[in-house]
Structures are given as C-alpha cells and as structure tokens.
C-alpha cells in the first residue's frame, strides 16, 4: 500500500504577494523619488503625495468615469481602472454609460461561480483561479478586480449567493486568501466585497442590520479579516446596506475601527457603485475612493457628474471653508497612491494573458472539482454502457454567463451542458437527444450583451412535458438539467428569490420523467439551495453551478466519470425554508422603520438567529437537512483509519497536529475532503455543537491509503467574548471530529486545552 502525505489546507500558501518593493535595477536614478522603482513603496508614496496639490488629491479619490478614477497627469501618475469581477473580466462599457463600448477584443474567459470554487474545498484551485483571472485583468489593463465576494450565506433567498463562498466563515476564509494572492501576483488588486453584512438583495440600499458583536466577529467578519491579514488584499469594497444606522461605505465602526484599526488594513476602501450618500461621513468614516454615485441628489445620475461626487467638489468646498484640514484627504490620497505603486506603477510590468488555453483548462478543472454528487443509487452514474441518452431541460442549453447583474460576462465562448455531453459521448457512439421539458426564461441579455440565443418555444407546457415523457420512455438514461438561472428573482443581483422551490413548474416535469423512466439523473444548476420534493423518486442528483465558459465540459467530465466527483456542499440544503433559522420578518427581509432620507425608506433587520447560521442552526435544533453542509459523494468510497495527534494536550500558545489515514476502498481513483470540526465539550457560554476548523483534500488511487494532516491552534477553540472584546479559548476538553460531511462524523479524538 502506498502512503502519501497531504499538508493541511489551512497552511499558508506561499505565493509571494509582490508589492513591487524590490528591483534589480542598480544604476543611479536621477528622477524624483516617487518614480524611482528601486525605492520602497512607502517612500515613493510620501514623495508623490508631497508634490500633489489639494485639487490633485481630490481628483484621485473619486471616479472620473464608470470604472476609472483620475491619475495626476502633471506627475505622470496613472488613472486607476477597475473591472467586475468576480468570475471574469467584464466587457468594456462607455465612459459614462452602462452601454457597451462595442469592443471586439473584450470577450473573456468565464470562470466558475465562487460557489463552485468553494465547493471544491481546494485552496490550490483557488490560487489557480485568482492567478488566472488576475492574468485576464492585467491583460485588459485593469488595476482593480472587483471581487472576490465573501458575504456569508444566510438565507437561500439571497439572489447573490452564487457570487460568494458559502455559509461557513472558516471555509470562506481558507478559500478567499489564495484567490486574493493569485490575483495580486499579477499586480492587480483584489477588491474584496461587500464589506459587510450584505446578505440579501431585497432593500439592499436601505436595510439597516442589527447584529450582536459575537455574531459579527464569529460569522460575518472572519473571511474579510483573512483576506486582509493573510491575503494582504489591496482593496475592499464597502457594501450598500447599513449597519447600526450608518451606511457601510462610510461606516465608522466597520471601516475605521475594525478594518483599518483592528486589522491594520493599509489598502483602499472603494465604495460600491452608488453606495455613498453623505459627504461628511465619506470624509471622516474611512472611505477612500468613491465610485458610481447617483450625483444629482441621490436619485439618478446626470451625465459626467463626477465633479459633484461627495468626495469631489462638495468635499473641496468644505476644505476651502476650513471645515476640514487635509489630514483625511492625505490619508485617502496616500492609500490611492499605494494602490498605484502596487499595481500599474509596479516595476515588474506583468503583461497578463487573455482567453488562453491555460485559462480554459483552469476553468474546466475548477468546474469539475466543484460539482457535487448528491445522490447515486444503483450506480446510475457515471454513465456507462448506455446507447441512448435523453437530455431534458432549459438549463441544458441556456447560456448562463449573461445575466445576474454586475458579474454578467461577455464570454469568448460557453459550452452548454448539452454540447458538453454530446462532445464527450457522441465519439463513443452514444446517441444524445434533447427535449426542452419546460420554458423558463427565454430572455438573454444584460447591459447590452446578448446571448444571441433564440429560446422561443411554440409548444405549451403540457405538450412540452408530454414530448419529454414520450422521448424518456425510449432512452437508456434521462438527464434532466434545470434549476435556477440568472434572471431577476432567481440567482441575480438586485432582486432576491421569491420562493425556495424550483420555478417554471420543474418539479412536475421531474416527477413525470421519474414515472416514465427509472433511470433519471437530475442536474440542478444554481448558486443556491432549492427544494427537492421529488428527492426520493430520483435515483441520481447532481449539484452543478454556474460554471462559465467550460460549463458543459466540466459537467460531462463528472457525468462520464472522466473526473470522479469530489465537491462538497459549501452550504446546507434544508428540506424546506421553514426548517431554517429565519422565522420572522424582522430577520428577513426586515421591517420598515418609517425613517427616510431623501429617496431612501429605511428597513431594519435583526440577525436574531445570532451565530446559528447554516449547519450551526440545523445541528443545534436537531433538524435533518435535505443535504448537509460539507456533503458530497464520489464514485469510490473512503474509509477513515484511526486519527492520532502529536499531543492530546494543548496550551494557549501551542497547537496540535492531527493525522488521519484515509483509504480509497473503491475501484476508481478519487479525492476525499476530510473535514475537522471542533466541539467544545463544556463551555461557559452557548456554543454550536461543532464548527469547521480545518480540512484537507486528498487524492487516492484505488486501494491507496494516504495521510491527511491538519493543524490547529487555540484560535480553533475560541469564541468571541463580546464583553471583553477578545477571542477566548477556555480550558477543558474538546472533541476533534473527523468527518466526511457535517453530518457524517467518522472518527473522534478527545483532547484538552490547559
């Protein structure tokens, strides 16, 4: 038996985040210090700042176009260009319009949605993702990538969950750090968003979140903190909503006290587009760079109104009137200069790459590694020995890279699931046919980018089902590919979902297909959990995601067994919405307060479920989810051996390294994600039954045994004591749970903290 070792996912990845502070140039430099590439960034920043006029400083802290802010031409300091993010590089829009600029060279590689990346539980893939998308950004001469997003999955109704990394702060933290490092290795800043508590789209500009400190620090902040402290993020985006009565783009506590104070963030706080509303707060409360304001008095934009941005003339007037000195202005300008020197003024001069074969390969790999096999009875998957495959469902053909809001892309190409399956199966002599089954949303355009697909349909709903059922009767296997899409009230920015169930009558189509042919595979494409009332009548279920350019190839890789699925759910699938922690309107979508400001009618929302989000809730209530957090099947099976530890006693400054052997006991090679949950056996306060504190993904040939190593320190045992305002690990016994999902604990080891 071969034994291989895998080092913990939680250990730091060592890609150097270059700040451009070194240079091999040694020859004498007789220009101004800020242009001298061999000087440290801070020295260059201070020198540049000392040469700037007040007007020039004002100019660099607000937008000059939809996605750029001004430089200082007199000093040769460049403009800063931003782009969405987070799944690919957005198509070029006009200077001051959302309309397309009409470029013919801006069709990008569409990478998988961040839910898919998170489902891979593979920090190495996250590094590859960041590096690849960063290369695309650099090639397109962007300095700031508006992503990744790490808002926590609080409700399955949030339309933007697909842009985030799931319900668990530890998983999101481990996955965001390498993404940020990968992006920034290209001298492109990652702009981590949306800071913070931006967990829904309904009333996103007016929701005032009330949350206790323990919940804030334990659930909603850790991924941002990791991105800043460990990832070294150069930018962060304030969110639209309010926290404790103040908009988050100028929220004193979030930006000044926590981000810049407690975490020592030295980068740029960028507003979300249109998230700034009050000049005085924008000046004093931690915002550095203003974008997207609706400048005629908070309603809609006038053209080229950049001079009236809150941090433009209104701020300058206040400085001139003596209301402010230049301390705040210098701090903002200094941060923007630092951004310039880290990115476009970096002497490394990275060139980037756009739609390269390597990027397609990365997208396909990440896609396949993130797909989650939820059910596979009777070994129906992988497809084997079949001659006639019937594919049913709109999502088998619908392009998904267009739509969903600001993450919408103009992709160079997008392989649909149907085309991916045909490409994989037709050469093997398998006949792949297609039936629509239902009509979802036939539209396909966003912001002037259109799919060009004609999805119009003449048959009515019952005819569509009848045709699918009759074709299903003659197929060896039926693959239904449905789910949500990127239209409003599905998985989209600006409008939450209206229901937990599948839309467009898909449940009935699935039931009809299950009756017609017992060999049915349901592939759900979404960025959110959905109800599956038919779960018992369908033998195989696959959770697919918005995978981008390589969508169909990644899916075909998994369905045909070319890739053995190893994805694990980054969020819980409850049986029904009612099972979840959100019970009242005050929790979601919030209650109107009656208070107004200009066009805004505020809503107050209280996160009264506290830390009991996702599996923490279902565990605490003993509610069986449809599919739990961390769950995902494989075409092989894994057996966990006896775990051991270098010590079963830990001190507050020490740590423990656990090792656990895992054996692939099935017939094919595959990868397993070993999850380490920590459970505090006795605590002075109420704690979740268990919390994820480590994981390791290991690839094993059939019959092979490998060792997964996971190290923890006292952080893994701590809770946030709001009164003391510090993390506390209490002495006593803890259980280390080695699990294949949050509901499948295989081995336990008890240790103590002294």
Identify the residue among 20, 37, 71, 85 touching ligand BGC (CB under 6 A): 85
> By C-beta, is 84 or 414 nearer to ligand BGC?
84
Q: Does 113 bind ligand BGC (CB under 6 A)?
A: no
Q: Does 84 bind ligand BGC (CB under 6 A)?
A: yes
Shortest distance in whole angstroms from residue 655 CB to ligand BGC: 37
Shortest distance in whole angstroms from residue 123 CB to ligand BGC: 24
381 phi-psi bin (left φ>0, alpha ψ -120 to 50, beta other): beta
Shortest distance in whole angstroms from residue 404 CB to ligand BGC: 11
Sequential DSSP letters for 566-626 = ----SS-B-SSGGGSS--STTTTT-EEEEEEETTEEEEEEE-TTTT--THHHHHHHTPPPS
Enumerate residues 403-422 that contact ligand BGC by CB under 6 A. 406
> By C-beta, is 176 or 523 nearer to ligand BGC?
176
Q: What residues pair up with 477 in beta bridges, in sequence order?
A: 389
How far apart, in whole angstroms, are the C-alpha atoms of residue 318 and residue 19?
34
Nearest to 65 by CA among 101, 110, 105: 101
> By C-beta, is 146 or 188 nearer to ligand BGC?
146
How far apart, in whole angstroms, are the C-alpha atoms of residue 603 and residue 226?
30
Write the CB contacts of 609 (distance below 8 Å, at least 6 apart in sequence): 581, 582, 587, 617
Write the CB contacts of 668 (distance below 8 Å, at least 6 apart in sequence): 561, 564, 635, 636, 702
| Residue 727 and residue 169 in contact, taking contact as beta carbons nearer than 8 Å | no
Nearest to 82 by CA among 282, 388, 343: 343
- Prior bond to 115 cis, omega within 30? no
> By C-beta, is 196 or 712 nearer to ligand BGC?
196
Identify the residue among 62, 193, 690, 709 touching ligand BGC (CB under 6 A): 193
Shortest distance in whole angstroms from residue 250 CB to ligand BGC: 16
Nearest to 484 by CA among 587, 398, 576, 412: 398
Q: What positions carry a catalytic annotation?
A: 272
Shortest distance in whole angstroms from residue 311 CB to ligand BGC: 17
Shortest distance in whole angstroms from residue 191 CB to ligand BGC: 8
Residues shown for the chain: 754
Strand segments, DSSP code E, in 231-286 are 235-238, 242-243, 246-247, 268-270
Q: Does 234 bind ligand BGC (CB under 6 A)?
A: no
Quickly count: other Cβ atoms within 10 Å of residue 570's Cβ. Answer: 30
Q: Does 643 bind ligand BGC (CB under 6 A)?
A: no
> By C-beta, is 146 or 736 nearer to ligand BGC?
146
How far apart, in whole angstroms, are the C-alpha atoms of residue 538 and residue 467?
20
Shortest distance in whole angstroms from residue 269 CB to ligand BGC: 14
Binding residues for ligand BGC, how many (CB under 6 A)? 7
Write the CB contacts of 677 (distance below 8 Å, at least 6 apart in sequence): 690, 691, 692, 693, 736, 737, 739, 742, 745
> By C-beta, is 446 or 534 nearer to ligand BGC?
446
Q: Does 272 bind ligand BGC (CB under 6 A)?
A: yes
Q: Does 567 bind ligand BGC (CB under 6 A)?
A: no
> By C-beta, is 239 or 524 nearer to ligand BGC?
239
Radius of gyration of the chain (CA): 26
Q: What order of strands is seen across the sheet that includes strand 431-435? A: 372-376, 540-544, 520-525, 477-483, 388-392, 431-435
Q: Does 273 bind ligand BGC (CB under 6 A)?
A: yes
Q: What residues pair up with 388 in beta bridges, in sequence order?
A: 431
> By C-beta, is 146 or 611 nearer to ligand BGC?
146
Shortest distance in whole angstroms from residue 98 CB to ligand BGC: 9
Burial class of residue 117 (count of CB atoms within 10 Å of its CB; 0-12, 13-18, 19+): buried
How far apart, in whole angstroms, are the C-alpha atoms of residue 356 and residue 210?
46
Shortest distance in whole angstroms from residue 82 CB to ligand BGC: 8
Identify the residue among 70, 146, 479, 522 touching ligand BGC (CB under 6 A): 146
Q: Do β-strands 540-544 and 520-525 pair in parallel, antiparallel, or remain unpaired?
A: parallel
> By C-beta, is 238 or 440 nearer to ligand BGC?
238
Binding site for ligand BGC (CB under 6 A): 84-85, 146, 193, 272-273, 406
């Amino acid at each position: 038996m071969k034994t291989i070792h895998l080092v913990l996912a939680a250990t730091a990845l060592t890609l150097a985040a270059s700040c451009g502070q070194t240079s091999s140039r040694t020859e004498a430099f007789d220009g101004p210090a800020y242009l001298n590439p061999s000087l440290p960034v801070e020295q260059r920043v201070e020198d540049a700042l000392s040469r700037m006029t007040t007007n020039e400083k004002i100019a660099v802290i607000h937008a000059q176009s939809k996605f750029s802010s001004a430089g200082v031409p007199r000093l040769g300091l460049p403009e800063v260009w931003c782009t969405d993010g987070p799944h690919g590089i957005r198509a070029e829009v006009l200077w001051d319009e959302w309309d397309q600029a009409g470029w013919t060279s801006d069709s990008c590689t569409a990478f998988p949605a961040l839910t898919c990346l998170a489902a891979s539980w593979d920090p190495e893939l996250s590094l590859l993702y960041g590096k690849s998308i960063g290369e695309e950004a650099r090639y397109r001469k962007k300095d700031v990538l508006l992503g990744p997003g790490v808002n926590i999955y609080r409700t399955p109704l949030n339309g933007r969950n697909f842009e985030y990394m799931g319900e668990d702060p530890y998983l999101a933290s481990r996955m965001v750090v390498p993404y940020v490092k990968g992006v920034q290795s290209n001298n492109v800043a990652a702009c981590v968003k949306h800071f913070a508590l931006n967990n829904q789209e309904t009333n996103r500009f007016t929701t005032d979140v009330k949350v206790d400190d323990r919940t804030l620090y334990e659930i909603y902040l850790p991924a941002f903190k990791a991105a800043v402290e460990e990832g070294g993020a150069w930018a962060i985006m304030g969110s639209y909503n309010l926290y404790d009565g103040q908009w988050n783009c100028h929220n004193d506590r979030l930006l000044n006290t926590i981000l810049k104070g407690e975490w020592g963030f030295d980068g740029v706080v960028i507003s979300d587009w249109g998230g700034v509303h009050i000049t005085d707060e924008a000046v004093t409360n931690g915002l550095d760079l203003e974008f997207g304001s609706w400048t005629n008095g908070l309603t809609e934009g006038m053209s080229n109104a950049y001079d009236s941005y809150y941090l433009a003339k209104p701020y300058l007037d206040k400085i001139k009137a003596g209301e402010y000195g230049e301390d705040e202005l210098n701090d903002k300008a200094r941060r923007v200069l630092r951004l310039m020197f880290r990115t476009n003024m970096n002497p490394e001069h990275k060139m980037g790459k756009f739609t390269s074969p390597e990027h397609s390969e990365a997208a396909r790999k990440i896609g396949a590694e993130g797909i989650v096999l939820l059910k596979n009875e009777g070994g129906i998957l992988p497809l084997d020995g079949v001659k006639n495959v019937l594919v049913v469902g709109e999502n088998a053909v619908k392009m998904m890279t267009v739509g969903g809001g600001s993450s919408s892309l103009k992709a160079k190409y997008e392989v649909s699931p149907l085309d991916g399956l045909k490409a994989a199966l037709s050469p093997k002599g398998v006949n792949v046919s297609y039936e629509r089954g239902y009509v979802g949303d036939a539209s396909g355009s966003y912001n002037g980018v259109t799919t060009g697909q004609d999805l119009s349909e003449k048959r009515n709903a019952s005819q569509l089902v009848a045709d699918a059922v009759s074709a299903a009767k003659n197929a060896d296997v039926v693959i239904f590919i449905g789910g949500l899409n990127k239209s409003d009230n599905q998985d989209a920015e600006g409008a939450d979902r209206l229901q937990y169930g599948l839309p467009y009558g898909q449940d009935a189509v699935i039931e009809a297909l299950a009756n017609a042919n017992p060999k049915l595979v349901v592939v759900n494409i979404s960025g959110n959990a959905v109800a599956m009332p038919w779960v018992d009548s369908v033998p195989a279920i696959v959770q697919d995601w918005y995978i981008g350019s390589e969508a169909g190839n990644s899916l075909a890789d998994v369905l045909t067994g070319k890739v053995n699925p190893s994805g694990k759910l980054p969020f819980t699938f409850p049986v029904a919405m009612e099972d979840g922690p959100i019970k009242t309107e005050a929790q979601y979508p919030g209650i109107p307060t009656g208070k107004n400001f200009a066009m805004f009618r505020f809503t107050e929302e209280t996160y009264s479920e506290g830390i009991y989000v996702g599996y923490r809730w279902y565990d605490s209530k003993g509610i069986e989810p449809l599919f739990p957090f961390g769950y995902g099947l494989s075409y092989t099976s894994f057996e966990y051996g006896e775990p051991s530890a270098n010590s079963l006693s830990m001190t507050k400054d020490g740590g423990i390294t656990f090792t656990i052997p895992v054996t692939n006991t099935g017939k094919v090679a595959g990868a397993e994600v070993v999850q380490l949950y920590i459970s505090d056996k006795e605590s002075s306060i109420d704690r979740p039954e268990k919390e994820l504190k480590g994981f390791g993904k290991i690839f094993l040939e059939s019959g092979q045994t490998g060792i997964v190593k996971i190290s923890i320190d006292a952080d893994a045992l701590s809770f946030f004591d709001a009164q003391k305002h510090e993390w506390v690990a209490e002495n006593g016994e803890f259980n280390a749970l080695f699990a294949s999902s949050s509901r499948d604990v295989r081995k336990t080891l008890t240790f103590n903290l002294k």
